[in-house]
């Protein structure tokens, strides 16, 4: 807020609308100062904090290798999965990770189409998170086949010696197409946005090696007006294509459940409720990483409190949507008069053996975000950070509840069985967190975490608007 | 300049402008003076550049449309061939060909092909990857991706460079220079 005030003073006695929100870029910036401050940390040696975190993340990555090795050596029997709980940690983690990825696409594509300018400095960050989260997610369906080297053979429609094709009426096959498309498009969108920034890095680098490496990735970008003309359209169209794509991905993920007949899964509310949950958890993950990163990388002038506040508001909104989803599920279970539905929602989940996880989910997802009704909470970093972690925990619990409770007690009590994860399950889960962190820390060190080109463009536009505003005010003042 | 290898360097006149507005103005004037191979180099897209450069409609939207339609047709044809023609499987007597159930994959491949054609379309139209360009010979050109606004004119073989340089100075550039491709 103080930055906003100082900028207003610097710009002269322009009467600002009191309802006008705080600025998205703090201080008096030019293209050159933005360029320097946004890339500053890339040219510096990694800080001690970064090294420590990276060591920790690498250790986590090691866990993943151990977990996967044991799984491949022993087979899926190393996991706690059983019949009836055939889907457990692998699918919980798959859905959790893919949901986390959704915030990136939402921020980069949907907010671009809605011309929400505050997205500019957080989109790169969130898109990178999408990529890494989707990588973690993709790992689970691959290794849960037990023989991942056969996965292409089972999943992809290519002419194999068996002469059999995938069954395209199955949501599981839709999932393969949805998730792989999502990964590809997210990668292209992210890289296309990155090209001008890589060119800036190439041109502001001081060493030959950096110039060469960034130069190669920049593809020879020279800011040509002819290139920009096509580039802008390509970027916009990619955003336009990503928007329905992101909605379709989690919709299709939810079809994996909703198309079955299992009580607790067989509901039409699943697609919108999964998408809302995905955005909810994704924003929480962005916030969890952004709070320490803006501090460590010296990016507070472009990742301002306004950004955090807006993200809190999105978390509040999506959290309420998720809560509505829970209420609706329970209502329909009661209203339908279906005994099995009623039993799963009102007995098994609330009072069954996994009830503590259910109530933790309710607390984290339905109670926690409500703190963001208060401006005080939305501007307190510690509260935002803790709440964002709770939301991540809550969303993981949600997937656990949906998958495990529905499976472990379905129609016939003689089929009922408890599910307990083994150490291998936990190791792989912790390992993907390690892999995500490793990739993310590498990204934070070597790639501009803030889309410098877009921030400069935003600054240019804001300056332009301010001039017009000033000119307009002068004209209005003259006519009085 | 004669080179033994028969190499004829490409020559450019590069002008730097103080602001985005003066660049737009200068570019328009250069075009009006009859120069054809004009380009601008800016750290971010500037509103009005297409007009100043006299560019026509962008080609990307059509490329993306074609890519998307190809994806849709390919997906549907693939599913129809595999599940209806080549290896129909009767599951509980449900229809072998069910258009509704083909929607998700048709949609996904539409997006996939549309998106990849947007990306590779830009690369192809811009001639990327192209790590070397004669303009990179100019030291000040580094600022084109940082905070500088440039206009470049390629001078065709046989035409006098000095006149173009004079024009570039006249249209309001703060600094104008001749840039020549170096032989590698």
Question: What ipTM was estimated for this complex?
Answer: 0.92
| Window 16-45 of A, Cβ < 8 Å to B | 30-32, 35
The closest of A425, A427, A433 to A85, measured between CA atoms, is: A425
Mutate which of A115, A120, A181 to disrupt the B interface (most B C-beta within 10 Å)? A181
Query: Could you tell me if residue A376 is inside a domain?
Result: yes
Query: Could you tell me if residue A21 is inside a domain?
Result: no
Give the pLDDT score at A12: 37
Give the pLDDT score at A13: 38
User: Which CATH code, of 1.10.3470, 2.60.40, 3.30.70, 3.40.50, is assigned to B11-56+134-180?
Assistant: 3.30.70
* Domain with A177 in it: 66-145+168-466
CB-based contact B128 A225, cutoff 8 Å:
no
Query: Could you tell me if residue A56 is inside a domain?
Result: no
Give the pLDDT score at A306: 86
| Window 144-183 of A, Cβ < 8 Å to B | 157, 163-169, 171, 173-174, 177-178, 181
Residues 6 or more apart whose CB falls under 8 angstroms from that of A33 comprise none
d(CA A436, CA A136): 7
Give the pLDDT score at B4: 63
Pairing assessment for the beta strands B11-17 and B175-180 based on DSSP bridges:
antiparallel
| Nearest neighbour of B102 by CB, restricted to A168, A252, A255 | A168
Give the pLDDT score at A448: 86
Residues 6 or more apart whose CB falls under 8 angstroms from that of A393 comprise A360, A364
Residue B99 has pLDDT above 80, yes or no: yes
Residues of B with Cβ-Cβ distance to A193 under 8 angstroms: none
Q: How far is B171 from chain A (nearest CA, A)?
A: 18
- What is the domain count for chain A? 1
CB-based contact A181 B108, cutoff 8 Å:
yes
B7 at A interface, C-beta within 8 A: no
The closest of A75, A78, A71, A85 to A419, measured between CA atoms, is: A85
CB-based contact B44 A453, cutoff 8 Å:
yes
Residues of A with Cβ-Cβ distance to B64 under 8 angstroms: 234, 237, 241
Query: Could you tell me if residue A367 is inside a domain?
Result: yes
A242 at B interface, C-beta within 8 A: yes
Q: How far is A91 from chain B (nearest CA, A)?
A: 20
| Window 435-464 of A, Cβ < 8 Å to B | 453-454, 456-457, 460
Q: How big is chain A by its Cα radius of gyration, in Å?
A: 24
What proportion of chain B, given as a percentage, has pLDDT over 90? Answer: 33
* Mean pLDDT (chain B, rounded): 88
Query: Could you tell me if residue A269 is inside a domain?
Result: yes
d(CA A432, CA A132): 10
Is A211 buried (19+), middle (13-18) or exposed (0-12) by CB count in 10 A? middle
Query: Could you tell me if residue A55 is inside a domain?
Result: no
Q: How far is B178 from chain A (nearest CA, A)?
A: 17
Query: From residue A75, how far is each of A50, A140, A195, A426 by CA, in Å?
Result: 36, 14, 43, 16
Q: How far is B168 from chain A (nearest CA, A)?
A: 17
Q: How far is A210 from chain B (nearest CA, A)?
A: 14
If phi over 0 gives left and psi between -120 and 50 gives alpha, with beta otherwise, what is residue A194?
alpha
Residues 6 or more apart whose CB falls under 8 angstroms from that of B110 comprise B68, B69, B71, B72, B75
Query: Could you tell me if residue A43 is inside a domain?
Result: no
Helix (H) or strand (E) holding A238: helix A225-258
Q: Are A261 and A342 in contact (CB under 8 A)?
A: no
A196 at B interface, C-beta within 8 A: yes
d(CA A438, CA A316): 29
Q: A200 to chain B: nearest residue by CA? A: B145
d(CA A442, CA A436): 10
C-beta neighbour count of B9 within 10 angstroms = 15
Q: Are A99 and A418 in contact (CB under 8 A)?
A: no
d(CA A65, CA A428): 8
Give the pLDDT score at A480: 43
Q: B98 to chain A: nearest residue by CA? A: A169
In the Cβ-directed half-sphere of A318, how many Cα atoms lie within 13 Å?
Answer: 26
CB-based contact B45 A232, cutoff 8 Å:
yes
| Window 151-180 of B, Cβ < 8 Å to A | none
The closest of A78, A91, A147 to A407, measured between CA atoms, is: A91
Give the pLDDT score at A284: 93
d(CA B76, CA A448): 40
Residues of A with Cβ-Cβ distance to B98 under 8 angstroms: 169
B121 at A interface, C-beta within 8 A: yes
Give the pLDDT score at A351: 93
Range(s) within chain B of domains with CATH label 3.30.70: 11-56+134-180
- Tell me the pLDDT tens digit for each residue of B114-142: 999 999 999 999 988 888 888 888 888 88
- Tell me the pLDDT tens digit for each residue of B50-96: 888 888 899 999 999 999 999 999 999 999 999 899 989 888 888 89
Mutate which of B23, B101, B115 to disrupt the A interface (most A C-beta within 10 Å)? B115
CB-based contact B55 A255, cutoff 8 Å:
no
| Nearest neighbour of B108 by CB, restricted to A165, A178, A457 | A178
Residues pairing with B39 in the sheet: B152
CB-based contact B98 A191, cutoff 8 Å:
no
pTM of this structure: 0.89
Q: B136 to chain A: nearest residue by CA? A: A222
Which position has the token pair 């820390």? A441
CATH, residue A251: 1.20.1630.10
Block means of pLDDT (10 residues each) for chain A, length 480 residues? 39 44 69 80 83 92 95 92 90 93 83 80 87 93 86 78 83 91 93 92 88 90 90 92 91 92 90 92 91 84 86 94 95 93 92 95 95 93 95 95 92 91 95 94 88 84 77 55
Which two tokens mark A214?
Answer: 């960034």
């Amino acid at each position: 807020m103080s930055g906003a005030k100082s900028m207003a003073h610097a710009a002269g006695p322009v009467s600002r609308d009191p309802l006008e929100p705080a600025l998205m870029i703090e201080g008096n910036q030019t293209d050159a100062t933005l360029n320097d401050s946004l890339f500053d940390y890339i040219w510096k040696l990694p800080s001690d904090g970064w090294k420590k975190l990276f060591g920790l993340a690498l250790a986590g990555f090691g866990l993943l290798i151990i977990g996967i090795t044991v799984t491949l050596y022993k087979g899926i029997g190393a996991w706690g999965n059983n019949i009836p709980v055939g889907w457990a940690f692998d699918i919980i983690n798959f859905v959790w990770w893919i949901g986390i990825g959704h915030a990136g696409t939402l921020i980069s594509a949907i907010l671009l189409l809605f011309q929400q300018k505050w997205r500019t400095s957080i989109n790169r960050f969130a898109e990178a998170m999408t990529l890494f989260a989707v990588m973690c997610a993709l790992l689970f369906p691959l290794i849960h086949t037990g023989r991942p080297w056969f996965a292409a053979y089972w999943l992809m429609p290519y002419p194999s010696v068996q002469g059999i094709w995938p069954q395209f009426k199955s949501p599981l096959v839709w999932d393969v197409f949805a998730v792989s498309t999502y990964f590809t498009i997210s990668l292209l969108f992210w890289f296309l946005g990155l090209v001008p920034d890589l060119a800036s890095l190439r041109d502001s680098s001081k060493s030959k090696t950096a110039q060469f490496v960034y130069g190669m990735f920049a593809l020879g970008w020279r800011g040509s007006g002819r290139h920009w003309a096509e580039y802008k359209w390509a970027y916009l169209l990619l955003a336009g294509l990503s928007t329905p794509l992101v909605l379709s991905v989690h919709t299709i993920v939810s079809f994996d459940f909703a198309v079955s007949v299992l009580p607790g899964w067989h509901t039409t509310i699943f697609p919108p409720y999964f998408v809302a949950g995905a955005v909810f958890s994704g924003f929480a993950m962005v916030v969890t990483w952004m709070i320490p990163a803006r501090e460590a990388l010296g990016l507070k002038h472009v990742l301002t409190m306004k950004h955090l506040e807006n993200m809190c508001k999105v978390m509040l909104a999506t959290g309420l949507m998720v809560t509505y989803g829970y209420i609706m599920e329970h209502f329909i279970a009661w209203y339908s008069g279906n005994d099995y539905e009623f039993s799963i929602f009102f007995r098994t989940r609330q009072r069954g053996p996994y009830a503590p996880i259910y109530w933790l989910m309710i607390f984290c997802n339905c109670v926690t975000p409500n703190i963001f009704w208060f401006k005080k909470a939305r501007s307190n970093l510690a509260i935002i950070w803790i709440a964002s972690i709770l939301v991540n925990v809550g969303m993981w619990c949600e997937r656990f509840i949906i998958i495990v409770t529905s499976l472990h007690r379905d129609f016939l009590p003689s089929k009922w069985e408890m599910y307990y994860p083994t150490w291998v399950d936990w190791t792989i889960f912790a390992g993907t967190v390690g892999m995500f962190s490793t990739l993310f820390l590498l990204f934070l060190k070597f790639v501009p975490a803030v889309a410098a080109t877009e921030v400069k463009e935003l600054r240019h536009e804001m300056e332009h608007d301010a001039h017009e505003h000033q000119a307009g005010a002068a004209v209005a003042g003259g006519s009085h | 300049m004669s080179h033994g290898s028969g190499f004829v360097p490409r020559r450019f006149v590069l002008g730097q402008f103080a602001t985005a507005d003066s660049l737009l103005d200068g570019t328009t004037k250069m075009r009006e003076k009859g120069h054809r191979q004009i380009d601008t180099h800016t750290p971010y897209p500037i509103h009005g550049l297409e007009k100043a450069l006299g560019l026509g409609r962008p080609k990307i939207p059509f490329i993306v449309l074609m890519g998307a339609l190809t994806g849709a047709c390919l997906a549907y044809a693939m599913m129809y061939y595999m599940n209806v023609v080549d290896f129909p499987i009767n599951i509980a007597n449900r229809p072998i060909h069910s258009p509704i159930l083909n929607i998700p994959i048709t949609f996904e491949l539409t997006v996939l092909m549309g998106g990849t054609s947007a990306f590779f379309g830009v690369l192809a139209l811009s001639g990327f990857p192209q790590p070397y360009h004669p303009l990179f010979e100019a030291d000040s050109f580094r600022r084109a991706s940082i905070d500088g606004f440039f206009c470049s004119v390629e001078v065709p073989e046989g035409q006098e460079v000095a006149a173009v340089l004079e024009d570039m100075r006249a249209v309001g550039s703060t600094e104008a220079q001749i840039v020549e491709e170096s032989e590698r």
